[in-house]
A = this chain, B = another copy of it.
């Protein structure tokens, strides 16, 4: 298993990316292809080249955070994002992990890897992990700001496969995020999607609301990429504030007995709200495994993203999605 990692992408590139990649190489026993500016990478990662299965793929262009995704991808074929995605396309890597310009990663994946046959719109599946041993998947976490009802149905199907095979949920139940439980609630998109999902073969439990996210009512939370992205970042933002406050609290005294138990619960939830823990979102529906990490990812987030990439590639998610679509057509 070989994972290509974008060493040029993210606020803390390249140092934190390389640190995370080295940790992942050790912990997950994967080969790593670090994609980025050659000279810099050699200096930073050089001493690990012999001990770990670490290779360096030199690039000469960089796509910044504020560049227009499609224009940047087309203008910069020698950027880490395009080169990394192409490694997956050419079978030289099993997955690509990037904390760079998300839009550019999505564009490069669409252009270079292409969509799996039958998929209208690839979507980002993001793991939400607020309760011990019960992760849920939110899809779409931000790939498609404007959606049609058929897209949301396909997001549900993609999420179903991912929840089953990567999160190991035997028969995932699917909830449609809305502003009310009743099937008459929702915007036009959600109302129409609800009717289509009811007719599908999925275990559709109906509309769920914002408060169901913390209550973990559904295994797969289906929503458009605009709403999904806002929800994910709202949870993250609150998590950040809690981490700061809780850190101040914990460092001020020692916990014992019942207090310790409660603190473990609080700690788990705060951890679940932390993007550093789940590492990244998986782009589902393209011909290859692509993990998009948070732009602020440091070593731990990158290490976890590489772990997620490994798990996703091992389970053969692309093939499973392709098979499921083939069955539907037959």
Segment of A37-45, A105-113, A167-175, A234-242 in the binding face: A234-242
Chain B residues with CB below 8 A from A330, complex form: none
Q: Which residues of B contact A204 (CB under 8 A)?
A: none
Q: Is the CB of A269 within 8 A of B248?
A: no
Size of interface on A: residues with Cβ below 8 Å to B: 59
C-alpha gap A246/B187 in the complex (Å): 35
Q: Do residues B233 and A230 form an inter-chain contact, with CB atoms below 8 A?
A: no
Known: A68-B184, A179-B226. A233 touches B209 (CB 8 A): yes
Query: In the complex, are the beta carbons of B262 and A252 less than 8 A apart?
Result: yes
In A93-146, the 8 Å CB interface with B consists of 130, 142, 145-146
Known A-B contacts A210-B230, A229-B210, A234-B211; the reply to A269 vs B253 at CB < 8 A is no
Nearest to A273 among chain B residues (CB) is B238
Return the CB mask of A210-239 against B: 1 if under 8 Å, else 0. 111111000000001111011111111110
In the complex the two chains form, what is the Cα distance from A150 to B37 in whole Å? 47
A178 contacts which chain B residues (CB < 8 A)? Answer: 226, 230
How near does chain B come to A137, taking the closest CB pair, in angstroms? 16
- Is A166 an interface position by the 8 A CB rule? no
B227 near A213 with CB under 8 A, answer no
Residue with the greatest number of chain B CB neighbours at <10 A, chosen from A145, A180, A234, A266: A234
Decide: A249 and B263 in contact? CB cutoff 8 A: yes
Q: A227 — nearest CB in chain B belongs to which residue?
A: B227
- Chain A residues within 8 Å of B, Cβ to Cβ: 66, 68, 130, 142, 145-146, 177-180, 182, 184-188, 190, 209-215, 224-227, 229-238, 240-242, 245-246, 248-249, 252-253, 255-259, 261-263, 265-266, 269, 273
Q: Known pairs A178-B226, A214-B237; list 17 more (Cβ under 8 Å).
A: A66-B182, A130-B238, A142-B179, A145-B188, A178-B230, A180-B229, A187-B226, A210-B235, A211-B233, A214-B240, A214-B241, A231-B234, A234-B235, A235-B238, A242-B242, A252-B257, A253-B253
Q: Which 9 A-B pairs have the closest CB atoms?
A: A210-B233, A211-B237, A252-B259, A210-B234, A214-B237, A248-B262, A179-B229, A249-B262, A252-B258
